[in-house]
Amino acid sequence: MQVKILDTTLRDGEQTPGVSLTPEEKLRIALRLDDLGVDIIEAGSAITSEGEREALKKIAEEGLDAEICSFARPLRGDIDEAIKCDVDSIHLVVPTSELHIKDKLRKPPSQVKEEAIESVEYAKDHGLIVEFSAEDATRSDMQFLKGILEESISAGAERICACDTVGILTPERAYEFYGELSKLKAPLSVHCHNDFGLAVANSLMGLRAGASEVHATVNGIGERAGNAALEEIVVALHSLYNVKTKINTRMLYETSKMVARLTGVYIQPNKAIVGENAFAHESGIHVDGILKKAETYEPITPELVGRERRFVMGKHIGTSALKEKLEEFDFKVDEKQFQQIFERVKSLGDMGKCVTDVDLQAIAEDVLGIVEDKIVNLEEVTVVSGNKVTPTASVKLRINEKEILEAGIGVGPVDAAIVAIKKSLEDFADIKLEEYHVDAITGGTDALIDVIIKLRYKDKIISARSTQPDIIMASVEAFIIGVNRLLANEKMRKNGDRNPRI
Ligand SMILES: CC(=O)SCCNC(=O)CCNC(=O)[C@H](O)C(C)(C)COP(=O)(O)OP(=O)(O)OC[C@H]1O[C@@H](n2cnc3c(N)ncnc32)[C@H](O)[C@@H]1OP(=O)(O)O
Ligand SMILES: CC(=O)C(=O)O
């Protein structure tokens, strides 16, 4: 069995309060979703706005493998706008509960049914694939619901969908409900909302009961508490139910990050699959187990979803965790030094502090007595940037007590600052920036920025990190920390130190 995925990040996901994407952003996400392997992209709702139509047209023009779909009400205007956007299909949404029909549409049920069926016929006459959706299906009278779905199939709808619009299903009820509807003569889709945190469980039960397609959004974004999270459904199907989808699971993390960045909806660290902590471990017993055999505390490999495992330092570490981390940073320590570092990490934890990688490096350097080996010191950095200037930076460094002043230009202020630092160092060491990675830890323009870099000097590569509210300062500091570590090591090596760190 292969389950079809209708991704509605760009329609229901974009209905997240406060989120709106430009046509270009929607196109970028659609291209990524197509690479990811979703079967259908519900890319928007053509009636909504000019920008929405521009996005739908742009996406439809790309000739993607995925079917491109627009949301539409059973109204001529909605369907006409979708047709003009040249989409492959419409997600035709018809309220079926008494509550929605009586209090929202304020029409007799017979009229709702009639207009719905006419809309299917109209869309079919215009060459559209129709996925006929019952809105608020889970609070609808079953006879009415089945009747309208059956008539939509007779009118030509290729697929039917029943929406748990306000997320009131339980897994048991979802199994029963979708099981009943799966007896109808068209492929059935599940569309669940997360008001009680049950969207993924209910979707899985719907599929188990006979539905063959699931609606989902990346990171579970959507109205109120959101929709069923695509990454959770896909990985659960793959790893727990042995059910295939066309999704390339290795792209899930990068897709999640892209959607978070473009929508501004950041996810909580403990979110399954894509949360920052989903493959991070601090507790000593866990790290020890993982180092012996990863399956002890990881139900799936991080690589399956395009991620890497991370060990975090803090109050709960054990010796195995610290040993692994010191090796990662290429510190070579004796038994006594190890014990000192261990105790300092624990005591920082007891003070309620989180011990970052930079903190650990500083502790280890202090214990190893190599803090004085700071060869390069930043005296000043000035950056000029804007829409009408070439990003330019000047830096003043003190290197071995000699003052060096240099300037650089770059594609942006960070690049300009790094170019200036590299120029200052030219006579001392040929340091190469191998990797640069930046992340906003919290939301907002005042977020803490976490910069991680990898630097190479001769045959040695080290990573360094800095976390600050200013992206330029975080980048510059990470670079200087890395350079100092590389040069200090080189000095120790030249001096015949028996314990160089790298
Ligand atoms: C559960 C869901 O996710 S439903 C999808 C929600 N998505 C959206 O709302 C997309 C963004 N919305 C919009 O841009 C606008 O609301 C538009 C363009 C769709 C409509 O704008 P307006 O014409 O100004 O109507 P408004 O938003 O005030 O009210 C919605 C209208 O649609 C009607 N309506 C709502 N759902 C449906 C439906 N499935 N079928 C037919 N009519 C519907 C309502 O009854 C109301 O019409 P009324 O004022 O004649 O009673
Ligand atoms: C159509 C839709 O998004 C819903 O009923 O939840």
Q: How far apart are alpha carbons 328 and 151 in whole angstroms?
A: 63
Using the mean position of ligand 1's atoms as its centre, give its distance from the Cα of residue 73 in Å: 8
ipTM above 0.95, yes or no: yes
Using the mean position of ligand 1's atoms as its centre, give its distance from the Cα of residue 71 in Å: 11
Nearest to 3 by CA among 158, 188, 273: 188
Can you read off the two tokens belonging to residue 388?
């009408």
CATH number for domain 4-263, candidates 3.40.50.1820, 3.20.20.60, 3.40.50.2300, 3.20.20.70? 3.20.20.70
Using the mean position of ligand 2's atoms as its centre, give its distance from the Cα of residue 81 in Å: 19
Q: Please give the CATH topology (third level) of the domain spanning 372-494.
A: Double Stranded RNA Binding Domain (3.30.160)
**pLDDT tens figures, 256-272:** 999 999 999 999 999 99
User: pLDDT band for position 123 (50/70/90)?
Assistant: very high
Residue 227 CA: which ligand 2 atom is closest?
6
Q: How far apart are alpha carbons 455 and 473 in whole angstroms?
A: 17
**pLDDT tens figures, 26-85:** 999 999 999 999 999 999 999 999 999 999 999 999 999 999 999 999 999 999 999 999
The lowest-confidence range among 237-241, 298-302, 352-356 is: 352-356
Q: How far apart are alpha carbons 89 and 67 in whole angstroms?
A: 7
Distances from the Cα of 97 to the Cα of 7, 146, 224, angstroms: 25, 12, 20
Distances from the Cα of 59 to the Cα of 9, 16, 86, angstroms: 14, 21, 10
| Strand-pair partners of 94 | 134
Nearest CA to ligand 2 atom 3: 12
Q: How far apart are alpha carbons 175 and 202 in whole angstroms?
A: 8
Residue 163 near ligand 2, beta carbon < 6 Å: yes
Residue that the structure tokens 């659960």 belong to: 236
Reported pTM: 0.81
Tell me the domain boundaries of the chain. 4-263, 280-368, 372-494
Using the mean position of ligand 2's atoms as its centre, give its distance from the Cα of residue 165 in Å: 5
Can you read off the two tokens belonging to residue 250?
């290795």
User: pLDDT band for position 501 (50/70/90)?
Assistant: very low
CB neighbourhood size of 334 (10 A): 9
Residue 191 near ligand 2, beta carbon < 6 Å: yes
Nearest CA to ligand 1 atom 47: 105
What residue ranges line ligand 1, CB within 6 angstroms? 12, 15, 45, 47-48, 73-75, 93-95, 104-105, 135, 165, 223
Residue 135 CA: which ligand 2 atom is closest?
5
Q: What 3-state DSSP class applies to 415?
A: helix
Residue 133 near ligand 2, beta carbon < 6 Å: yes
Nearest to 252 by CA among 502, 5, 83, 86: 5
User: pLDDT band for position 443 (50/70/90)?
Assistant: low
Ligand number with the minimum distance to the CA of 91: 2
Nearest CA to ligand 2 atom 6: 165
Q: How far apart are alpha carbons 14 and 190 in whole angstroms?
A: 19
Using the mean position of ligand 2's atoms as its centre, give its distance from the Cα of residue 421 in Å: 54
Using the mean position of ligand 2's atoms as its centre, give its distance from the Cα of residue 249 in Å: 26
AA identity, residue 375: I
Residue 7 near ligand 2, beta carbon < 6 Å: no
Count helices and strands (H / E) in the chain.
16, 16
pLDDT number for residue 442: 61
User: pLDDT band for position 327 (50/70/90)?
Assistant: very high
Does residue 440 have a pLDDT over 90?
no
Which is it for strands 376-384 and 392-399: parallel, antiparallel or unpaired?
Answer: antiparallel
Residue 71 CA: which ligand 1 atom is closest?
5
